Amino acid sequence: MSTLEHKLTKTSETVFTAEFHTLDGNGLEKAKKYADRFRGWFDGVNATDNTAAHAHVSNVASAIAMKQLGLEPILQVVCRDKNRLAQQADIMGASMFGVENFLALTGDDVTAGDETEARRVFDLDGPQLVRLMSTIKRGEYMSGRKIDPAPHMFIGAVENPGAPPFEYRVQRVAKKYASGAKFLQLQICYHQDRLEKFCAGVRDAGLAGKIAIIPTIILVKGASALNFMHNSVPGIDVPADQIARVEKAADPCEEAYLQTLEFAQHALAQPSVRGLHITDFRNDETLERLMTDLGRVRQSITSEVKENHAYSA
Amino acid sequence: MTTFIATIEHVIKGPVWGCQDCGQCVLHSTGMTCPMNCPKTLRNGPCGGVREDGHCEVKPEMKCVWLKAYDRTESWPLPSSWKEEYNHLRPPVDNRLKGTSSWKNFFTKRDRWTPTGWKNTTDESIEVGQH
């Protein structure tokens, strides 16, 4: 059982997950550098799958590297680039290397990326992919062909509490839970009222304690990143007063940090919330500062644990 | 005959519903809104990229297909059994049915075929796995 699954299903501890950096040239060296920053802070780290429709080192290769480097990977699988056959192959391939956490996403469209001429696949959609993961977990491929032994899987999904239709988003959570999702990472939401309603809705739907809600917060250096998200990332709306707050501050960098901390504390106080997912766009010492301010103590990795994690390093 | 039925269906459903001839029609369960007009061809609700004005991530000039489906399911006088189906998990598209008549596939029950693994993964089997 993965640490993430153990904490979410057997304890009431708050969990922290993070987005791993994308890898390109000299990927393994960079992965080592990033792993040194992340190790000991997080219960799971997302091995991303061509984020924002840009090609990078694959999700499966990143997840294996993370295992070797002492991080616990969460394998993201998106529906944009691969059909159901390839998705099953990726899940089984990662599982062969000991990956146990899986995250099903619909995925950004190819138009969000830098190769907009590419064919979009979307053979399955997000909820169907969750169900497919449950099928593999049960010991069968989609076709019904047996997998013996069945891989150990802890399945999660994603939802956006900040995009319309707001009142329908909770029903999608119920659908994903019914399909087998046990945790749900949320997309960043800069409208606190929307997050509050969403989390209360999950509770009112009787899903609290059944599916762990993990809102995202993002560490940014200033207003330009907020403006970028507001203007260029569909599904993310940053209220003008939040942007102005950072823009007009005497020290925008510090204000951006304080804003992130406030959002983190607010998110953790919501019903059904079991932890936070952190995306670090700052790449500086504030990651450590944030974790400390949130009361997290960095776990030391013993040599024994390192050995267990090191597949072949 | 089969092609003839498919043609008739296409002529009627194309202009009215923007039918994409998937051959496994779910219009009744999606507020009479064809999900195959979603650029991502999502069958189970909107993605996370819906814009603040309710428009599509991929085609900003178009209202999100699933917002339309949701609004119509809520406000149109459709049979309650159809409305209930809105939240059902629709199975993956059977790509072999593309271009065939969904009317024929409905009456022959061909449109209800799902792969064995999918079929075996019942709500109950998931529920058991979650405890």
Enter the ipTM: 0.94
Instruction: Give the pLDDT band (50/70/90) at residue B20.
Output: confident
| Cβ burial, residue A287 (10 Å; 0-12/13-18/19+) | middle
Q: What percent of chain A has pLDDT over 90?
A: 93
Instruction: Give the pLDDT band (50/70/90) at residue B1.
Output: low
Please determine, for residue B94, whether its predicted confidence score (pLDDT) is greater than 50.
yes
Instruction: Give the pLDDT band (50/70/90) at residue A300.
Output: confident
Q: Which of A107, A109, A106 is nearest to A119 (CA)?
A: A109
Residue A68, amino acid: Q
B87 contacts on A by Cβ (under 8 Å): 171, 174-175
B71 contacts on A by Cβ (under 8 Å): 165
pLDDT in tens, A221-230: 999 999 999 9
Please determine, for residue B61, whether its predicted confidence score (pLDDT) is greater than 80.
yes
pLDDT in tens, A110-167: 999 999 999 999 999 999 999 999 999 999 999 999 999 999 999 999 999 999 999 8
Q: What's residue B130's pLDDT?
A: 57
Please judge whether B87 and A106 are an interchain contact, meaning their C-beta atoms are less than 8 angstroms apart: no
Q: What's residue B125's pLDDT?
A: 84
Q: What percent of chain B has pLDDT over 70?
A: 96
Q: How far apart are CA A17 and CA A4, in angstroms?
A: 9
User: Which residues have a Cβ under 8 Å from the Cβ of A283 and sit 6 or more positions away?
Assistant: none
Q: Which of B98, B66, B10, B126 is nearest to A235 (CA)?
A: B66
Evaluate whether A158 touches A212 at the Cβ level (below 8 Å). Answer: no
Q: How far apart are CA A68 and CA A75, in angstroms?
A: 14
B24 contacts on A by Cβ (under 8 Å): none
Q: How far is B70 from chain A (nearest CA, A)?
A: 8
Strand boundaries in A5-138, DSSP class E: 15-19, 44-47, 73-78, 101-105
Q: How far, in Å, are A20, A26, A65, A304, B77 from residue A57 at the CA level?
A: 12, 10, 11, 29, 50
Please determine, for residue A198, whether its predicted confidence score (pLDDT) is greater than 80.
yes
Q: How far is B85 from chain A (nearest CA, A)?
A: 12
Please judge whether A164 and B50 are an interchain contact, meaning their C-beta atoms are less than 8 angstroms apart: yes
Evaluate whether B36 touches B20 at the Cβ level (below 8 Å). Answer: yes
Q: Which of B49, B90, B95 sits opposite A234 (nearest CB)?
A: B49
pLDDT in tens, A17-35: 999 999 999 989 999 999 9
Please judge whether B116 and A180 are an interchain contact, meaning their C-beta atoms are less than 8 angstroms apart: no
In the predicted model, what is the mean pLDDT of chain A?
Answer: 94
Instruction: Kindly report the number of other CB atoms within 10 A of residue A210's CB atom.
Output: 15
Residue A130, amino acid: V
Q: State which residue of chain A sits closest to B124, comparing Cα positions.
A: A178
pLDDT in tens, A49-84: 999 999 999 999 999 999 999 999 999 999 999 999
Evaluate whether A89 touches A69 at the Cβ level (below 8 Å). Answer: no
- Model pTM? 0.94
End-to-end Cα distance, chain B: 51
A142 contacts on B by Cβ (under 8 Å): 92, 115, 117-118
Q: What's residue B5's pLDDT?
A: 81
Q: How far apart are CA A29 and CA A31, in angstroms?
A: 5
